[in-house]
Amino acid sequence: MDQTNFLDVYVEQTPNPETMKFVFNRMILPNNALDFPTREKAHVSPLAANLFEFSFVQGVFIMNNFVSITKTPYSQWEDLTAIIREFLKSYVAAGEKIINDPQLTQQIESDDPVVQKIIDILDQYIKPAVEVDGGLISFKSFDEGKVTVELKGSCSGCPSSTITLKRGIEGMLTKMVPEVKEVVAESV
């Protein structure tokens, strides 16, 4: 078997019990992240639209080498993981389209040195940890000491995200950027 073409998908739990992370052994959406919290928003991604055809799929987040899926509350992961894993593996192996427009996301940069420092800290220290859990944190704004971020993927609706936001992210940013007084999350 040619190992360079071998495709595998494994499953990881996330801190959000309603969301599971399906990880590929290769990039499927390099340097890009798209969040589809509803079926209506999935029209820009054929993969997400196909996943929403499953009645138990409530949300889809696609990034780099993984897909995080949020299930409906009445369904059980032990009944779903094999179905989703096989679907994802077949879909990607067949070379099906992940997104319609690869330019859907953009890199945020700022001329304000405080804002740029916040973005750099988020990118360097916080984003990698959040990605491990199947989510994404994005900078939205900084105004009068308050940093507003957006939580996507498994972080959206996660019971522990408020604790992580206040104790972890806010703690780090207030120590590293004296101008920061508070960090809040904007709902998607």
pLDDT tens digits for range 137-168 = 888 888 999 988 888 776 766 666 777 777 78
Q: Which residue blocks in 32-170 are alpha helix, DSSP H?
A: 46-51, 77-93, 113-121, 127-132, 161-163
Average pLDDT of span 168-174? 85
pLDDT at 15: 85
* 56 vs 139, residue with greater confidence: 56
Question: Exposed/middle/buried for 137, CB within 10 Å: 0-12, 13-18, 19+?
Answer: buried
DSSP for 19-46 reads EEEEEESS-SEEEEEEEESSGGGGGG-H
pTM of this structure:
0.67
Residue 82 DSSP class: H
- With beta carbons less than 8 A apart as the criterion, state whether 183 and 169 touch: yes
- With beta carbons less than 8 A apart as the criterion, state whether 42 and 49 touch: yes
pLDDT at 110: 66
Average pLDDT, the chain: 84
pLDDT at 2: 46
- Of the pLDDT bands very low, low, confident and very high (cuts 50, 70, 90), residue 1 is very low
Average pLDDT of span 35-42? 89
pLDDT at 60: 94
Checking if the pLDDT of 56 tops 90, the result is yes
Query: What are phi and psi for residue 108, nearest 5 degrees?
Result: -95, 130
pLDDT at 108: 57
Task: Name the nearest CA neighbour of 119 among 111, 12, 66, 20.
Answer: 111
Question: What's the CA gap between 30 and 15, in Å, rounded?
Answer: 24
Look up residue 136 and give its two tokens: 């994404």
- Domains of the chain, first to last: 3-93 (3.30.1370.70), 113-186 (3.30.300.130)
pLDDT tens digits for range 67-109 = 999 999 999 999 999 999 999 999 999 999 998 876 555 455 5
**Strand-pair partners of 139:** 149
pLDDT at 55: 95
pLDDT at 3: 47
Question: What's the CA gap between 28 and 93, in Å, rounded?
Answer: 10
